[in-house]
Amino acid sequence: MTWTDFVGWMDENKIILIAVTCTVVGAGGCLVALRVWLQGPSCRSKARLNGKTVVITGCNTGIGKETARDLSSRGARVVMLCRDLQKAKLAAEEIHKETGNAVVVYPLDLASLQSVRETAAKLKDAEPRIHILINNAGVMMCPRWETKDGFEMQLGTNHLGHFLLTMLLLDQLKASAPSRIINVSSIAHTRSGVTTYSLHPGVVQTDLGRHIHQSVNEFIHWAFHFFGNFFFKTVKKGAQTTIYCAIDERIATHTGKYYSDCAEKEPHPRGICDEDARRLWDTSLQLVELGQYNV
């Protein structure tokens, strides 16, 4: 086809070409709009945290690291509790260089109740006041592993480790009232000056899904990561609800609520069942050997 023939063909089919172009541009615009919508809102609070101490678990990467970065930039003294000390120290150095504020690291293995107790004891001496505790660390879809205490890994790490840590730091949180606990929902803190928040950060592309390939076939694992790059939240966006719950002044007294996309949401009915909550509370106390703990 000569150039003249091509120009003639273009002229004869210009309506079709315009329609195709508009379709492609329109589809692209819709995809961009969809991605923006899926990212969710950002925390708009300008609150400062000068003179405040924030303790965050599992914050050497992902949402936790982004949360630590943001709160440090607001003037907070950030205490990072991490299992991988090498990564944690690198993250702490990076955040300190960016913000100029103190960032300290302590070892914490949530899969070991002994490690939780040892870290809590160190914090009692070194951090007499804790204004915000963010229970961020977690595992998901890991193989049938057990913690050092014989608990299923997800139960031991995501719940029991954080439960014990929170209980052991509760006196420091009370002494720092008004203070906040993020990601912990319990009946323990009524009238203590400590408000608690549970939240869903959204579906975020982080290391939390590092064990998925051991639970699904390779195609699903590939699809998860391929589509996740477009449809999942970025780490920065995924941290926004955590930051919102930690600093927003409007929810300072809204204890025991559930949040997603920087707004209060209705949890599953089982999540607000008093009978289930009491049973979980009592069982957790027994499993971490705290007995009848008075709060």
Strands (DSSP E) found in 92-188 = 103-107, 132-134, 179-182
Quick count: other Cβ atoms within 10 Å of Cβ 9?
A: 12
At residue 189, the pLDDT reads 40
CA 17 to chain centroid: 47
Burial class (CB in 10 A: 0-12, 13-18, 19+), 280: middle
At residue 190, the pLDDT reads 45
Q: Which amino acid is at 208?
A: L
Task: List phi, psi (to 5°) of 203.
Answer: -90, 110
Domain residue limits, the chain: 53-287
DSSP 8-state code for residue 259: E
At residue 144, the pLDDT reads 82
Q: Which amino acid is at 49?
A: L
What token pair was written down for 150?
């014989």
At residue 210, the pLDDT reads 53
Q: Which CATH number fits domain 53-287: 3.40.50.720, 3.40.50.970, 1.10.10.10, 3.30.465.10?
A: 3.40.50.720
Low-confidence ranges of the chain (pLDDT < 50): 184-191, 211, 213
At residue 126, the pLDDT reads 95
Dihedral sign of CA atoms 29, 33, 34, 36 in order: positive
